Structure 1
């Protein structure tokens, strides 16, 4: 009888152990499922973050990247942006003459002291040409004076060459004579240069007989 009771007790113990061992994985599955919940949420968040951009968003993003690169590369990038906004207003056909004059003066004030540095830029060169066309004679003289020591360098610039021609078109006789004197000793190399030759030819067209002879003599030396 004692042996039977002992066997019955062992059987009950084994049943309890089996039950516990079978239930243990259930608990571990529950724990595992709880642990994996944050991962699924994280994946959902990741999917939300990497959602495809719209066409407009892509364009804005590309523009921001391009502006950032230009800002690093161009010293006066911010100034050029300010000037471009003024330029858009001043070149409108319907704008009043007085309003355009104010915008031109504002632009020239912003550029003062930096004109030779930004004259070689595509946008800045075009803005300067518009300003020179519509500014007062006093303002034009100030621009010429600031550019004069740098005319020779600018004569080789693909963008600044148009500004140089515009300055010569609006130059006084004294200013033109000073410019031609600047070319002395440099006529031959300028004529061999694709851009520089345009400047020499333009100066020659505007020069008087004596100045033309001066340019020709410098070329044959």
Structure 2
């Protein structure tokens, strides 16, 4: 399976910096608590100086949402929502070790991170693109929605949408669960210096996955000139490994 952003996304959002990671052999049992605590402590320290709405990483995503005709404080990118919850409640929800780890990295860097069960995505292509309006999106409650035409979504080859409003909300269909063994992780930044941030995030997540699950993830930075990432059992050509 291949993952990419459509040409129109790169054209509309030239500041986009994206990274993808593929790992196999992950499971629901791992003690990621110390690492989650470390990353959330970094986020809390930053929140002590300013609310998440003032972070450059979040402000950049708010501008993107506004450019798509969305009210930024109604539809927040995933990292802003997590930071807001952390500020108000002092903690993040515990869902699954892989998700908990990636959520903690997301708040530490204030950048959205998507974690998908790769076996729940229909290939050969998963593309971040503008919706046609006939794609099917499954909520975490099991309801079916259809992204509005023009809305940015993660769409697979079967016409299933794995996100609403780009980095706002993931699908329940491809959510990581106890039976997940293969994951696709995507980090997307639109702030100045985002490429360096995403590269560091990928390395961080890859090291933690290796430490806790013994897997060797393949990672790649996606740019306007290198737009595609191939998922496979072995690291694809051109991919980086930690």
Higher relative contact order (CA 8 A, sep 6+): 2
**Which is richer in strand?**
2
Common topology (TM > 0.5) = no
**Which one has the bigger helix percentage?**
1
TM-score (norm 2): 0.21
Larger Cα-atom Rg: 1
TM normalised by structure 1 equals: 0.22
